[in-house]
Structures are given as structure tokens and as C-alpha cells.
């Protein structure tokens, strides 16, 4: 009866070590605070969000997955976390990080539903603990022709989709992000936008091993301006596909209506694969500006991931 054998920690596959360690640490943390008795959290005056935040930090830094991390020089943390596209907090990239203080990112239930056998709602924190975190160094290419090299912490979206068991009719995955005007000072000036910020992938793209749900970056939980507490990362597509602060993931039979495609389908088509040969309506996509150095480098087809995607896009 193999499931009765208790193996030592070092025998566990890496994917199971992280959640178990996180779980033990969580119990320990709560015990130290005297919170395991039930109902004590409220009496303690400690905010549930404080517990979540302390809990989240236990999972970082995660081990780097070398197989998915090309040896590239990372963009500076300070640069990547202060130069953001997150229109809910304004359109000035360098100001977004100063406008996120009202945004409450824990607790954070994420609903996974639609055409699947086992829909579920789990907190972002539970998702991180359940699937185990790893670090991957990915190229990041915005449609505005700037780029970065980013160490994300997260897990493959595929693991979550397999858990909910897509039905045969599921063809697309829709990603809905948080919309809370009272916490997001940027939306007041963009009232005409089709909020919430929504994105989508084909099921095949969503199931691809490169596609991640990230809960951290630079070895720490995601800063709010980078999409705390959980965001999508699709490294071969323009950055706008990678929705931040996800609240809902839905399996569907129809191609989802996305915010950018609704606003301007010629400029921001649904597929949005990085392609140096296809210019944006208003600028070339042949080169990109590296955020740190300001250097101009050539843009690579599928952002450098073509070899890993050949089966997905075979003609």
C-alpha cells in the first residue's frame, strides 16, 4: 500500500515540497499568533489580510526552473516594478506604482468556471500553495515596442485547468481582472473603456507549458502595480494579453471579447503573437527598446519562443 509509506521530505517531488512546506509554515505561523483555535482571528484584531500577506511571503523565493530560464541578464527590479501598464491606475507608466495604495489584494478569491467538470473558487494564496511555485526567467515584450527580462514566480496555468477538467466543448479561456473604481484612481478618466479588463487565449495556448499564472516576481510576491496577487504571463504574446489581478478564469466555447480588441481590433487583435514582420498600425514591430539600457534590439518571432511553440502553431 504505497500511499501509507511516509517518505522523508527529500524524497518528495519538488512540486509537492513547496505546498507542504507552505502548509506547515502556515500552521506554525498561526500557532505562534494563537490563531488555530478558530474564531480567534476576529478577536485578535489582526486583519485577515495581514495573515494572508505573512502567509504569502513563506513561499518565496521559489527555486528557478533552469529548463525554462534562458541565461539572460535580468532587467533591474526597480525599473520593472516602476514602469507599468495598468490603466486602472492611470496611463502614466511611471506613476502607476504610486497610485495603488487603496488597492486591497488579500484575501483574493479567484473563480474558475464555465465549460468544465469541476468549477472551483480558490484564494490566490491557496492556488500558489496547491500547485507549488517556481521561478522562470521570461522575455517580456509590450506591443508599444519596449521589452524586459523578468524572473516570474508562479506555476503553469495548465495545472489549474487540468484540476477543473475542461469539457469537450471548451475552446477558449477567458481571463477577467478586478474592477474596483473606488480603489483604482485611473478608471475615472477612462469611463468609456469596456471594463473590466478582459483577455483570452485558445485552450491550446492556455494549456501550453510556457503559459504561467504568476504570483510573484524578483523572488517576492507581486507588487500591486505588477498585478498582485495573481496575473497571467504569456511570454510569446504582446504584454497586453497578460491580464493582471485576475478574479475569474472561464472556459468557454466562444472567443472572448477582450478590452483591447473591442477598442481597436486592427491594432490589438485577439491573437497578438509577437511578430517583427507585422507592424502595428502606428509603428514598426521590427525592433524593441530594452527598458533598462534603452538599447534597441531586434524583435524575435514569437518573442524568441518559436521552437517551443512549433507544435501549437503547426500549419
Ligand X SMILES: Nc1nc2c(c(=O)[nH]1)N[C@H]1C(S)=C(S)[C@@H](COP(=O)(O)O)O[C@H]1N2
Question: Smallest distance, Å, CB 302 to ligand X?
Answer: 17
Query: How far is 213 from 171, CA to CA, in rounded Å?
Result: 19
Query: How far is 281 from 294, CA to CA, in rounded Å?
Result: 23
Stretch that binds ligand X, among 32-40, 200-208, 237-245, 273-281 (CB under 6 A): 237-245
Q: Which is nearer to Mo ion, 83 or 240 (CB)?
A: 240
Contacts of 279 (CB under 8 A, 6+ apart): 285, 286
Q: Using the rule CB under 6 A, is 239 a contact of ligand X?
A: yes
Q: Using the rule CB under 6 A, is 152 a contact of ligand X?
A: no
Are 33 and 42 a contacting pair, CB within 8 Å?
no
Are 137 and 145 a contacting pair, CB within 8 Å?
no
Q: Using the rule CB under 6 A, is 240 a contact of ligand X?
A: yes
22, 58, 87, 126: which one binds ligand X (CB under 6 A):
87
Task: Spell 145-171 as b/e; 16+ CB within 10 A means b.
Answer: bbbbbbbbbbbbbbbbbebbebeeebe
244 binds, among ligand X, Mo ion, none (CB under 5 to 8 A by kind): ligand X
Question: Smallest distance, Å, CB 35 to ligand X?
Answer: 33
Q: Which is nearer to ligand X, 84 or 153 (CB)?
A: 84
# chain residues binding ligand X, by CB under 6 A: 16
Stretch that binds ligand X, among 5-13, 56-64, 83-91, 277-285 (CB under 6 A): 83-91
State the cell numbers at 35. 490563531
Q: Using the rule CB under 5 A, is 131 a contact of Mo ion?
A: no
State the cell numbers at 150. 523578468
97, 174, 237, 244: which one binds ligand X (CB under 6 A):
244
236, 240, 260, 268: which one binds Mo ion (CB under 5 A):
240
Contacts of 105 (CB under 8 A, 6+ apart): 224, 228, 229, 245
Report how far apart, in Å, the C-alpha atoms of 67 and of each of 8, 210, 213 are. Answer: 26, 11, 17
Can the peptide bond before residue 56 be classed as cis, meaning omega within 30 degrees of 0?
A: no
Of 135, 133, 167, which Cα lies nearest the Cα of 152?
135
Q: Which is nearer to ligand X, 242 or 273 (CB)?
A: 242
Are 187 and 242 a contacting pair, CB within 8 Å?
no
235 binds, among Mo ion, ligand X, none (CB under 5 to 8 A by kind): none
Residue 90: Cβ within 10 Å count: 21
Q: Which is nearer to Mo ion, 19 or 243 (CB)?
A: 243
Question: Smallest distance, Å, CB 132 to ligand X?
Answer: 22
Q: Using the rule CB under 6 A, is 197 a contact of ligand X?
A: yes
258 binds, among ligand X, Mo ion, none (CB under 5 to 8 A by kind): none
Question: Smallest distance, Å, CB 142 to Mo ion?
Answer: 3
Q: Using the rule CB under 6 A, is 285 a contact of ligand X?
A: no
Binding positions for Mo ion, rule: CB under 5 A = 85, 142-143, 239-240
Please report, as ranges, the residues that interact with ligand X according to CB under 6 A: 84-88, 142, 177, 197, 226-227, 239-240, 242-245
Amino acid at each position: 500500500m504505497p500511499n501509507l509509506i511516509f517518505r522523508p521530505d527529500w524524497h518528495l517531488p519538488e512540486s509537492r515540497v513547496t505546498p507542504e512546506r507552505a502548509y506547515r509554515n502556515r500552521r506554525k505561523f498561526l500557532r505562534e499568533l494563537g490563531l488555530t483555535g478558530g474564531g480567534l482571528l476576529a478577536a485578535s484584531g489582526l486583519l485577515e489580510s495581514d495573515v494572508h500577506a505573512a502567509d504569502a511571503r513563506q513561499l518565496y523565493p521559489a527555486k528557478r526552473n533552469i529548463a525554462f530560464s534562458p541565461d539572460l541578464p535580468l532587467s533591474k527590479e526597480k525599473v520593472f516594478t516602476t514602469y507599468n501598464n495598468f490603466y486602472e491606475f492611470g496611463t502614466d507608466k511611471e506613476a502607476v506604482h504610486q497610485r495603488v495604495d487603496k488597492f486591497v489584494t488579500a484575501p483574493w478569491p479567484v473563480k474558475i468556471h464555465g465549460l468544465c467538470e469541476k468549477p472551483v473558487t480558490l484564494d490566490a494564496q491557496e492556488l500558489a500553495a496547491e500547485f507549488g511555485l517556481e521561478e522562470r526567467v521570461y522575455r517580456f515584450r509590450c506591443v508599444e515596442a519596449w521589452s524586459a527580462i523578468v524572473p516570474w514566480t508562479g506555476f503553469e496555468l495548465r495545472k489549474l485547468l487540468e484540476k477543473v477538467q475542461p469539457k469537450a466543448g471548451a475552446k477558449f479561456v477567458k481571463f477577467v481582472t478586478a474592477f474596483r473604481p473606488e480603489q483604482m484612481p485611473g478608471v475615472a478618466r477612462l469611463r468609456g473603456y469596456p471594463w473590466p479588463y478582459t483577455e483570452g487565449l485558445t485552450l491550446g495556448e492556455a494549456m501550453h507549458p510556457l503559459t504561467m499564472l504568476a504570483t510573484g516576481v524578483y523572488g517576492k510576491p507581486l507588487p500591486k502595480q505588477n498585478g498582485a496577487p495573481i496575473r497571467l504571463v504569456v511570454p510569446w504574446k504582446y504584454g497586453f494579453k497578460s491580464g493582471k489581478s485576475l478574479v475569474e478564469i472561464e472556459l468557454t466555447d466562444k472567443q472572448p471579447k477582450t478590452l483591447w480588441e473591442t477598442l481597436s481590433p486592427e491594432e490589438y487583435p485577439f491573437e497578438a503573437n509577437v511578430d517583427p514582420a507585422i507592424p502595428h498600425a502606428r509603428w514598426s514591430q521590427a525592433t524593441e527598446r530594452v527598458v533598462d539600457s534603452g538599447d534597441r534590439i531586434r524583435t524575435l518571432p514569437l518573442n524568441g519562443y518559436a521552437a517551443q511553440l512549433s507544435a501549437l502553431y503547426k500549419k
